[in-house]
Structure 1
Amino acid sequence: MKVVRLLAAAAACLFAAVCAAAALDAPMTPGDFADCVQSLADQTQSSSKPLAREDFLRIAAGAKYDDRVRRALLVVKGEPTYWWDELAATTDDQRVEDGRAVLSRAAAPLQRIEAQFGVPKEIIVALYGIETNYGPAAGRIPVLDATLSLACLRPCPDPNGRCLARERAFTAVRLLRDSRVVPETFVGSWAGAFGRTQFEPDSYEQLAVDGDGDGIADIVNSEPDAWASTANHLVRRGGWIPDAPVYVEVRVPAEQQAEFMGNGETIRLADRMRKASEWAAAGWKAIGPEGAVLPLALDGDPELYPFLPVGLPGPAFLVSRNFDTIYRYNNSVRYVLEVATLANRIAGGPGIVTPWPTDDPGLSRAQIRELQAWLIAQGHTLVVADGVAGRNTRDAIEEERAKKGMPPGRRVGQRTMRELMS
Structure 2
Amino acid sequence: MVHRFLLLLSVAFFFAPLAHAQSSLVAQPLPPEQFAACVKGLAGHTGSAGRPLKRDDFLRIASTAKYDDRVRQSMLVQTGEPTFWWDDIAATTDEQRVAEGREVLAREAELLAKIEQRFGVPREIVVGIYGIETNYGPAAGRIPVLDAAVSLACLRPCSPGAATCGSRERAYAAVRLLRDNKVKPESFVGSWAAAFGRTQFVPDSYEQLAVDMDGDGLADVIGSLPDALASAANHLRRRGGWIAGAPVYIEVKVPAGQQREFTPTGKSIRLTDRAMKVSEWAAMGWQAVGAGGASLPLQAAGDPVVVPFLPVGLPGPAFLVSRNFNTIFRYNNSDRYVMEVAVLANKLAGGPGIVTPWPTDDPGLSRAEVKELQAWLMQRGHALVTADGVMGRNTRDAIEAERARKGLPAGRRVGQRTMRLLMQ
TM-score band, normalised by the shorter chain? over 0.9
- Count of matched residue positions in the alignment of Structure 1 and Structure 2: 411
Deviation at 1:334, TM superposition (A): 0.5
TM-score by length of structure 2 reads 0.93
Distance in 2 between the 1:21 and 1:243 partners? Answer: 44
1:16-415 residue pairs with structure 2 within 5 A?
23-75=25-77, 77-158=79-160, 161-415=163-417
Q: Which runs of 5+ in 1 are unaligned?
A: 1-6, 14-18
Superposed CA deviations along residues 67-105 of structure 1, whole A, max 9, x for unmatched, are 222222333634442110110000000000000000000
- Paired residue for 2:421? 419
Q: Which amino acid aligns with 1:242?
A: A
Superposed CA deviations along residues 297-355 of structure 1, whole A, max 9, x for unmatched, are 21111111100111111011011000011011111001101000000001100000011
- Compared with structure 1, are the counterparts of its residues 259 and 61 closer, same or farther at alpha carbon in structure 2 (3 Å cutoff)? closer
Distance in 1 between the 2:73 and 2:331 partners? Answer: 24
Distance in 1 between the 2:103 and 2:303 partners? Answer: 32
Deviation at 1:54, TM superposition (A): 1.3
Distance in 1 between the 2:250 and 2:272 partners? Answer: 15
Contact kept? 1:10, 1:22, Cα under 8 Å = no
Distance in 1 between the 2:210 and 2:222 partners? Answer: 11
- Compared with structure 1, are the counterparts of its residues 21 and 377 closer, same or farther at alpha carbon in structure 2 (3 Å cutoff)? closer
Q: Which amino acid aligns with 2:91?
A: A
Contact kept? 1:46, 1:159, Cα under 8 Å = no
Q: Which amino acid aligns with 1:197?
A: T
Distance in 1 between the 2:164 and 2:265 partners? Answer: 39
TM-score by length of structure 1 reads 0.93
- Paired residue for 1:3? none
Q: Secondary structure at the match of 1:317?
A: strand
Deviation at 1:136, TM superposition (A): 4.4
Q: Which amino acid aligns with 2:415?
A: G
Distance in 2 between the 1:242 and 1:151 partners? Answer: 36
Contact kept? 1:46, 1:160, Cα under 8 Å = no
Q: Which amino acid aligns with 1:329?
A: Y
- Compared with structure 1, are the counterparts of its residues 62 and 79 closer, same or farther at alpha carbon in structure 2 (3 Å cutoff)? closer
Contact kept? 2:22, 2:156, Cα under 8 Å = no
Deviation at 1:33, TM superposition (A): 2.0
Deviation at 1:12, TM superposition (A): 6.4
Give the share of equivalent positions with the same residue, in percent.
68
Contact kept? 1:22, 1:155, Cα under 8 Å = no
Query: Once superposed, what is the RMSD of the aligned Cα atoms?
Result: 2.0
- Paired residue for 1:4? none
Select between 400-409 and 90-99 the one with higher mean Cα deviation.
Answer: 400-409
Deviation at 1:22, TM superposition (A): 5.7
Distance in 2 between the 1:145 and 1:254 partners? Answer: 53
Distance in 2 between the 1:30 and 1:22 partners? Answer: 16
Distance in 2 between the 1:192 and 1:68 partners? Answer: 11
Superposed CA deviations along residues 111-150 of structure 1, whole A, max 9, x for unmatched, are 1000110100000000100000001431111111111111
Superposed CA deviations along residues 222-278 of structure 1, whole A, max 9, x for unmatched, are 111011000000010110000000000011112112222225532111111100110
Deviation at 1:10, TM superposition (A): 8.9
- Would you identify which runs of 4 or more consecutive aligned residues in structure 1 move more than 6 Å? none
Deviation at 1:9, TM superposition (A): 5.2
- Compared with structure 1, are the counterparts of its residues 73 and 273 closer, same or farther at alpha carbon in structure 2 (3 Å cutoff)? same
Distance in 2 between the 1:384 and 1:270 partners? Answer: 42
